[in-house]
């Protein structure tokens, strides 16, 4: 199973890019005690945590050298080691570790603050009370959660507390993990979690002095915005997003142009329900002689491997390969005392692996069906297919899109997908807790390689045939520019 947890509630966890962690009750700092945000860890404490972090990543991470050579990764490790020449708070160490981990180029490798930090922050933290949307090189307010006479939705932000917003975005990008050198996944993360990223990595000021441009006004304006408590902002966001909640699985036949839309916002539905949904949808497609099928996978962060392969089996009439290989760099785990949660035993690990060349271990084909040739459905769909993606399309979702693209089965419209074209590192994920600072790191064990070839951008996501970017006016008016373009494309082909 692979998930990219996109959740609008922050009370469940802290930041989008650290959502892989799901804690146990122990931690470096007891949640029953008062958490001291200014507590400084000694050089020796930081060095010990670093040694454990490096050792665990080098032993367990399935794709540590997927996008960077060992020489390059060693240099990054040594650089972080060299920077630990003075005491640091947890927040300062979090920045350093997040920067290192982001350079691995793995969207499934995430860093979480300590349990003590999270508990303090959920109860006492304050944050930026506005959501943002990155469009091109500009940052706009997409939602104003304040009860204020001055509505800032639509404001183009230029500076926050005299820091250019471009510098803030650049800093966040350096902290957030994504597959390879993909940026769109990081941008969609910032869209969803800007207030929390600001608190974690910039600070928690009582007031935000914002300079920006209101819609339709050329002159710069300045606004003084009071910080919001985390519980208050979380409640406001939950209320807003719950009102807009959409179905995970949805199928609609449009009134004109023999077109249907299949929308799947997650591949993490119960498999029996998912199978019934696909069967019923494609039966209706056949009955109504649908010529054009739009598959909307925007915001689909992944889930079960099988669900992407099952969807493709409805789109092809020939047997197909899905995974080329699944491999690990070890069949044992040495750092068990620092891992928590459901830790897989060495015996279990060794039971689904075969030794291969260069010290690599391959997942056995009888333990993963998707390593075997897959069969199409008896009566697959042979009409025109249009697949919509964005930076939130990740993990199992981008496995499906890579296979469909490599097979030239669809036109792709929207934004570069957030997951790597050739695969990812995921599956069995080990949760590491550093003994002194309590930082928690998700370390994926399996290197997934897709059965695809000849894509020129090895360190990018799938780049669409038709890149489409909405404007701030589209966002505020509820206009779906990507879907409208797709429908116009279909109409022009009739």
pLDDT tens digits, residue range 43-92?
999 999 999 999 999 999 999 999 999 999 999 999 999 999 999 999 99
In this structure, what is the dihedral angle of CA atoms 143, 147, 150, 156, given to the nearest 10 degrees? -20
Strands (DSSP E) along 65-172, which ranges?
111-112, 126-127, 130-135, 138-144, 156-160, 163-164
CB 266 within 8 A of CB 301: yes
Nearest to 187 by CA among 141, 135, 225, 230: 135
User: pLDDT (tens digit, 9 = 90+) per residue, 19-43?
Assistant: 333 333 333 444 445 788 899 999 9
Q: What is the mean pLDDT of the chain?
A: 91
What's the DSSP call for residue 404? H
Mean pLDDT over residues 160-171, rounded? 97
pLDDT at residue 488, as a whole number: 96
Res 243: pLDDT: 58
Write the pLDDT tens digit of every residue in 237-266: 888 877 556 789 999 999 777 999 999 999
pLDDT score at 493: 85
Q: Quick: pLDDT tens for 402-415.
A: 999 999 999 999 99
Q: Is the pLDDT of residue 111 over 80?
A: yes
- Domains in the chain (CATH in brackets) are 249-322+374-419+464-493 (3.90.226.10)
Q: Residue 223 burial (CB < 10 Å; 0-12/13-18/19+)?
A: middle
- Region 194-208 average pLDDT: 92
Using alpha carbons, select from 112, 109, 147 the residue that is nearest to residue 2.
109
Mean per-residue pLDDT, 299-313: 97
Give me the DSSP letters along 57-96.
HHHH-TTTTSSS-HHHHHHHHHHHHHH-SS-B-HHHHHHH
Give the global pTM.
Answer: 0.92
pLDDT at 13 over 60: no
Supply the pLDDT for residue 19: 36
384, two tokens: 């025109």
Q: What is the dihedral of CA 335, 304, 468, 132, to 10 degrees?
A: -60
String of DSSP letters for 320-379: B--EEEEEES-SS-S-GGGEESSPPPHHHHHHTEEE-GGG-EEEPTTT-GGGSPBPPPSS
Average pLDDT over residues 347-352: 91
Beta bridge partners, 263, equal: 250, 296
In our burial notation (b when 16+ CB lie closer than 10 A, e otherwise), range 228-254 reads: bebeebbebbeeeeeeeeeebbebeee
| Per-residue pLDDT, 31 | 43
**Chain segment 449-470, per-residue pLDDT in tens:** 999 999 999 999 999 999 999 9
Tokens, residue 27: 């931690």
Mean pLDDT of 372-401: 98
Q: Band the pLDDT of 341: cuts 50, 70, 90.
A: confident
pLDDT of 208 higher than 90? yes
> What pLDDT does 245 receive?
63
Predicted confidence at residue 8, as pLDDT, reads 28
CB 417 within 8 A of CB 183: no
């Amino acid at each position: 199973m692979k998930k990219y947890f996109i959740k609008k509630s922050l009370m469940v966890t802290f930041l989008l890019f650290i959502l892989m962690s799901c804690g146990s009750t122990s931690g470096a700092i007891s949640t029953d005690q008062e958490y001291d945000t200014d507590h400084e860890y000694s050089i020796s404490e930081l060095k010990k945590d670093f040694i454990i972090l490096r050792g665990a990543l080098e032993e367990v991470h399935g794709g540590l050298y997927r996008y960077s050579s060992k020489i390059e990764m060693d240099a990054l490790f040594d650089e972080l080691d060299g920077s630990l020449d003075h005491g640091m708070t947890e927040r300062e160490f979090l920045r350093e570790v997040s920067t290192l981990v982001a350079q691995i180029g793995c969207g499934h490798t995430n860093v979480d603050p300590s349990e003590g930090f999270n508990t303090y922050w959920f109860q006492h933290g304050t944050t930026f009370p506005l959501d943002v949307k990155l469009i091109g090189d500009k940052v706009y307010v997409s939602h104003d959660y304040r009860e204020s006479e001055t509505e800032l939705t639509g404001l183009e932000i230029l500076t926050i507390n005299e820091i250019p917003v471009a510098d803030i975005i650049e800093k966040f990008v350096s902290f957030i993990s994504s597959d390879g050198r993909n940026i769109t996944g990081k941008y969609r993360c910032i869209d969803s979690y800007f207030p929390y990223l600001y608190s974690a990595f910039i600070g928690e000021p009582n007031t935000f002095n914002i300079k920006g441009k209101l819609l339709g006004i050329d002159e710069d304006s300045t606004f003084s915005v009071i910080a919001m408590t985390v519980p208050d902002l979380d409640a406001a966001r939950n209320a807003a997003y719950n009102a807009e909640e959409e179905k995970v699985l949805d199928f609609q036949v449009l009134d004109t142009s023999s077109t249907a839309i299949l929308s799947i916002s997650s591949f993490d539905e119960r498999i029996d329900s998912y199978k019934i949904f696909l069967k019923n949808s494609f039966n209706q497609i056949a009955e109504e002689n649908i010529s054009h099928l739009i598959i909307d996978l925007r915001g689909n962060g992944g889930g079960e491997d099988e669900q992407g392969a099952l969807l493709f089996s409805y789109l092809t009439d020939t047997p197909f390969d899905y995974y080329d290989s699944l491999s690990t760099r070890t069949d044992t785990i040495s750092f068990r005392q620092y891992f928590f949660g459901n830790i897989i035993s060495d015996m279990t690990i060794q039971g689904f692996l075969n030794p291969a060349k260069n010290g690599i271990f391959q997942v056995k084909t009888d333990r993963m069906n998707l390593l075997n040739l897959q069969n199409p459905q008896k009566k697959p769909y042979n009409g025109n297919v249009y697949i919509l993606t964005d930076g939130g399309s990740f993990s199992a979702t981008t496995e499906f899109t890579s296979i469909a693209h490599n097979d030239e089965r669809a036109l792709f419209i929207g934004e570069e997908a957030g997951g790597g074209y050739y695969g990812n590192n995921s599956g069995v994920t080990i949760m590491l807790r550093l003994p002194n600072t309590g930082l928690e790191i998700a370390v994926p064990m399996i290197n997934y390689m897709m059965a695809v070839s000849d894509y020129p951008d090895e360190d990018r996501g799938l780049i669409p045939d038709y890149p489409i970017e909405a404007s701030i006016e589209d966002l505020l008016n509820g206009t779906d520019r990507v879907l409208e373009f797709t429908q116009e494309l279909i109409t022009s082909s009739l």
